[in-house]
A and B are shown apart, each in its own frame.
Chain A
Amino acid sequence: MACPAWADGLAFVVNSGEASISLLDVQQHRELRRIPMLREPHHMALTPDGKSLLIGDTAGNTLFFLDPHTGAVQRQVAVSDPYQLQFSPDGRWLTIAGLARNQVDIYDAASLKLLHRIPLAAMPSHMNYAPDSGVVYVSLQESNRLAAIDTKTGTVLWNAEVGKTPAGVLWSAGRILVGIMGADDIAVVDPASGHVERRVQTGKGAHNLFLSPDGRTLYVCNRVDGTISLLDPRTLVVQRSFRISGGPDDLDFAPDGRIWATRRWAHSVAIIDPATGQFQTVEVGRSPHGIWLNTHEAAPAAPRLTMNAP
């Protein structure tokens, strides 16, 4: 497929309900075109070398490789149920959670060779790594648990109950934060034991967590309340809250400081001014889920905690 060569300044939005990727102009806040997928794409991850953006099409059982600068499809690889995907901070591993098939696969990032398949009931969804890449933490939505997996051996180190329908997972300041979608809080979990040390109330349906590029703000999307909470990442004190209707889900951060958020049930992306909470919308496809802007400084080997919906 012929693709115009765009300068950096593209937002990739995964329309999970209509099998396409919307390509948006970050400067002009408009949709440029749609890239067809197969069935039901959800999330994406940039390869450690920065040359490909991987998009997992779950029902299509396919991993799409896209040029992160143009959106051109580079290749497709058959992979079973690639729902959530994330490269480890050291760039060595690629972990793929199969939400529908209750499995977590750990691949060699360079060769895409499957190293470990870990059956994990039920509904493994979001994930994040320890900074040393030694452990990946995966939330299990249906069984209310969080599992810690040794990335080298594929061994489950612990599997602990953390709250009703856990979703987003984020390593932050030596602890694991987990969005508890079936309640109104985030659980603060000890990475060594899986023990919930405390809970921080944010809003009903606390779903996903993102750290701002400057590390000063932690954003939590509250799916049921239709809000985004802003927390101090060190103290976890809630400072403010924005009202973002339409089921806010994944976020990414633009160079001008604005926050781009997918609105799952509103066919659109909200572009939020973090100073005021005011937002404008750009229409995309049905059920927009993952979002990634190619405007970041290229540092692909480092974990981008804000991307790929951890």
Chain B
Amino acid sequence: MIDPFDAVAGWLQEHALIPVLFRLGWMQWEDVAYGWALFATYGVAQVIATFAICLPLERWRPVERWPDRGAVTVDVLYTLISRVGLLPLVTFVGFYTVQVALNGWLTEHGYVPPTLERFVPALLGHPVLTFLIYAAILDAADYWRHRISHRIGWWWALHSLHHAQRQMTFWSDDRNHLLDDLIGALWFGAIALLIGVPPLQFPLMVLLLRFLESLSHANARLTFGRIGERLLISPRFHRAHHGILAAGQRSCNYGAVLPWWDMLFGTADFSRSYAQTGDPSGEEALATGSYLQQQWAGLRRLGTTIGAPRIGAMRPRARTH
């Protein structure tokens, strides 16, 4: 039976995207458009599945209750932009363009980008295992990207937008500064060039991984148990990373899906209970501003921190309320 997501993406492509591309004279981008249709379809499924599972969890065992959930609304917008709307399109086209340009340049200089299966030929024919290895490599790479983003002053200025949220919910996973997202995409692209990441071969597994990332931000008293927490990152584990005492360079628990990298490199902290989240050093607009106000505040903070390599140089600012 045809995967229902693929059926929806195929319908979108045939009845919505292709007529538009034809009218605009952009038919050469039909393959890219189909990739985006798949991306967006799975993105919608991600949002729906995450909503359907995480919302009851947050209602059932909330860590915090807020009378006013206005700050959460902006995170919903971040999620929709990131998983369904413009960002996947830009990332998809941008990633494709950058990858092609880089690959072309490398090829001209006698280097054909490898794949993991070329390094380990036995993996060919075992796509699920291959994907899991890729996922682990990317998760490790993301651990270091994330950890470094806390150590470098200007990068933290951008990343602090993600940490500013005091009403952290499953919607908060995608609340990032656009420049932070861009750096993340470039980081991911560099790794992809080294090992040849399969982009859309396993959309369901990507969906599952993104769900786990959203779940780790949930406002829910949820732990996977002593052993389970050492296999997959739980909301309790990741909440320690977002705790106000952990904001900035002294943070812990940087991992996204697997806690192994934190355990391996000495940054895991399984002891903390459900901490209050937020970043007291950031201005209020980063926490409760509108989408554009948050983005602008991130740029402002970036401006003040250029030249200051460590966030220790930044002084906490008083809350306005």
Q: Do A and B interact with each other, yes or no?
A: yes
* A217 contacts chain B at the CB level, 8 A cutoff: no
- CB-based contact B28/A226 at 8 Å: no
* B284 contacts chain A at the CB level, 8 A cutoff: no
List B contacts of A246 (CB < 8 A): 10, 14
The segment from A23-31, A147-155, A189-197, A264-272 found at the interface with B is A264-272
Partner pick for B115 among A39, A103, A181, A264, CB 8 A cutoff: A39
* A291 contacts chain B at the CB level, 8 A cutoff: no
Q: How many residues of B contact A (CB 8 A)?
A: 38
A90 CB, min distance to chain B CBs, angstroms: 28
- CB-based contact A165/B25 at 8 Å: yes
Interface 1/0 per residue, A43-85 and B, CB below 8 Å: 0000000000000000111100000000000000011110000
- CB-based contact A18/B201 at 8 Å: yes
* Distance in angstroms between the alpha carbons of A101 and B199 in the assembled complex: 18
Chain A, interface residues (CB within 8 Å), range: 35 or more
Chain A CB within 10 Å, residue with most, of B3, B10, B18, B100: B10
* A223 contacts chain B at the CB level, 8 A cutoff: yes
Interface 1/0 per residue, B1-23 and A, CB below 8 Å: 11100110111011000110010
- CB-based contact A39/B196 at 8 Å: yes
List B contacts of A18 (CB < 8 A): 200-201
List A contacts of B115 (CB < 8 A): 38-39, 60-62
* A1 contacts chain B at the CB level, 8 A cutoff: yes
Given contacts A182-B25, A264-B34, contact A36 B18 (CB under 8 A): no
A271 CB, min distance to chain B CBs, angstroms: 17
* Distance in angstroms between the alpha carbons of A224 and B26 in the assembled complex: 12
* Distance in angstroms between the alpha carbons of A223 and B1 in the assembled complex: 24
Beta-carbon contacts under 8 Å, B99-145 to A: 100, 103-104, 107, 112-113, 115, 117-118, 124-125, 127
* Distance in angstroms between the alpha carbons of A61 and B100 in the assembled complex: 12
* B30 contacts chain A at the CB level, 8 A cutoff: yes
* Distance in angstroms between the alpha carbons of A125 and B167 in the assembled complex: 51
Interface 1/0 per residue, B71-115 and A, CB below 8 Å: 000000000000000000000000010001001100100001101
- CB-based contact B107/A101 at 8 Å: yes
- CB-based contact B127/A61 at 8 Å: no
List A contacts of B18 (CB < 8 A): 205, 223-224, 247
- CB-based contact B28/A266 at 8 Å: no
* Distance in angstroms between the alpha carbons of A165 and B31 in the assembled complex: 13
- CB-based contact A142/B28 at 8 Å: yes
Which single residue of chain A is at the shortest CB-CB distance from B105?
A: A101
Which single residue of chain B is at the shortest CB-CB distance from A267?
A: B2
Given contacts A81-B103, A100-B100, A265-B13, contact A205 B196 (CB under 8 A): no
B127 CB, min distance to chain A CBs, angstroms: 6
* A17 contacts chain B at the CB level, 8 A cutoff: yes
- CB-based contact A101/B10 at 8 Å: no
Beta-carbon contacts under 8 Å, A95-125 to B: 100-103, 123
- CB-based contact B28/A38 at 8 Å: no
- CB-based contact B6/A286 at 8 Å: yes
A70 CB, min distance to chain B CBs, angstroms: 15
* Distance in angstroms between the alpha carbons of A239 and B107 in the assembled complex: 46
List B contacts of A38 (CB < 8 A): 115, 117, 124, 196, 198
* A86 contacts chain B at the CB level, 8 A cutoff: no
Given contacts A1-B125, A19-B201, A39-B115, contact A265 B34 (CB under 8 A): yes
Given contacts A80-B112, A267-B2, contact A141 B28 (CB under 8 A): yes
Chain A CB within 10 Å, residue with most, of B11, B100, B107, B201: B201
- CB-based contact A17/B34 at 8 Å: yes
List A contacts of B28 (CB < 8 A): 123, 141-142, 165, 181-182
* Distance in angstroms between the alpha carbons of A165 and B23 in the assembled complex: 12
- CB-based contact A283/B2 at 8 Å: yes
Partner pick for A164 among B7, B25, B100, CB 8 A cutoff: B25
* Distance in angstroms between the alpha carbons of A78 and B18 in the assembled complex: 33
B126 CB, min distance to chain A CBs, angstroms: 8
* B27 contacts chain A at the CB level, 8 A cutoff: yes
A162 CB, min distance to chain B CBs, angstroms: 14
Interface 1/0 per residue, A247-281 and B, CB below 8 Å: 10000000000000000111110000000000000
Which single residue of chain A is at the shortest CB-CB distance from B111?
A: A80
* A287 contacts chain B at the CB level, 8 A cutoff: yes
Partner pick for B30 among A101, A223, A268, CB 8 A cutoff: A223
Interface 1/0 per residue, A217-230 and B, CB below 8 Å: 00000011010000
Interface 1/0 per residue, B187-207 and A, CB below 8 Å: 000000000101111000000
Partner pick for B125 among A36, A61, A103, CB 8 A cutoff: A36
- CB-based contact A226/B198 at 8 Å: no
Given contacts A100-B100, A165-B27, contact A61 B201 (CB under 8 A): no
* Distance in angstroms between the alpha carbons of A227 and B298 in the assembled complex: 51
* Distance in angstroms between the alpha carbons of A264 and B9 in the assembled complex: 11
List A contacts of B3 (CB < 8 A): 267, 286
By Cβ-Cβ distance, the 8 closest A-B pairs, closest first, are A265-B10, A80-B107, A101-B104, A165-B27, A141-B28, A100-B100, A267-B2, A265-B13
Q: 18 A-B pairs, CB-CB below 8 angstroms?
A: A1-B125, A16-B31, A17-B34, A17-B38, A36-B127, A39-B115, A39-B201, A61-B112, A78-B112, A81-B104, A100-B96, A100-B103, A182-B25, A205-B18, A224-B22, A265-B34, A267-B7, A286-B6
